Amino acid sequence: MTQPTEAVVFDLDGVLIQSEEVWDEVRERYTRERGGRYDAEIQRAMMGMSSTEWSSFLHETAGISDAPEEINHAVVQLMLAAYREHLPLVDGAVEAVQRLAAAFPLAVASSSNRPLIDAVLDAAGLEAYFAATVSSEEVAHGKPAPDVYLEAARRLGAEATRCAAVEDSHGGIRSAKAAGMRVIAIPNATYPPDEEALAQADVVLRSLAELTPAVV
């Protein structure tokens, strides 16, 4: 018998903000300006990585000579500048969070850096709705490892197996599933999850408009 859901954990990038395109543009520009390699393989490999992972990846695989710490800091500053200019909230994000917050404790489990998570939630007026937020830079391994979702459940004081995760990507779906959570997938239209990952989701929705407490 399926246990009732006690809490909901949202991914951030691709679920609440349409930011994958921003990440892609910023990292591509930064990489090319430094003579590195940036292509579809590089882009897809980084999806879901923590900041320590993707900055090392750009240094070691994409050929950027800057130290990973320098890469991380520079890219985050570029992302913050992009968000100040335009925050790409997904349609219905605020309403979906408000609907679910009325029924469940909420958390964010994101691959974004802590400053980016805080900046987005503050700018969107969503900070007060989340009892906990976790960046994958605060755990040992980024997605698709389960660490960030397990830590979100811990900070909520909930069993991971009694949480639902809202995800959009292949790495995110695998991460939440590995943590033992029920997974609600809203596939990213630009960077859709592969069929194997999507098959692991418990529920697949077309948009945040379909995300209700009843679905959870």
Q: Which residue intervals of the chain bear CATH 1.10.150?
A: 20-85
Residue 113 structure tokens: 């850096």
Q: Which fold has domain 20-85?
A: DNA polymerase; domain 1 (1.10.150)
Q: Which residue intervals of the chain bear CATH 3.40.50.1000?
A: 7-18+88-210
Q: What is the pLDDT of residue 1?
A: 45
Phi-psi group of 133: left, alpha or beta (phi > 0 → left; psi -120 to 50 → alpha; rest → beta): beta
pLDDT digits (tens, 9 = 90+) for 75-103: 999 999 999 999 999 999 999 999 999 99
Using CA atoms of 9, 13, 17, 21 in order, give the dihedral in degrees to the nearest 10: -170
- Sign (positive or negative) of CA dihedral 110, 116, 122, 124: negative
Tens-binned pLDDT, residue by residue, of the chain (216 aa): 467 899 999 999 999 999 989 999 999 999 999 999 999 999 988 887 889 999 999 999 999 999 999 999 999 999 999 999 999 999 999 999 999 999 999 999 999 999 999 999 999 999 999 999 999 999 999 999 999 999 999 999 999 999 999 999 999 999 999 999 999 999 988 888 989 999 999 999 999 999 999 999
Q: What is the pLDDT of residue 2?
A: 61
pLDDT digits (tens, 9 = 90+) for 122-156: 999 999 999 999 999 999 999 999 999 999 999 99
- Of 182, 176, 119, nearest in space to 142 by CA: 176
Q: CB count, 10 Å around CB of 32? A: 13
Architecture label for domain 7-18+88-210? 3-Layer(aba) Sandwich (3.40)
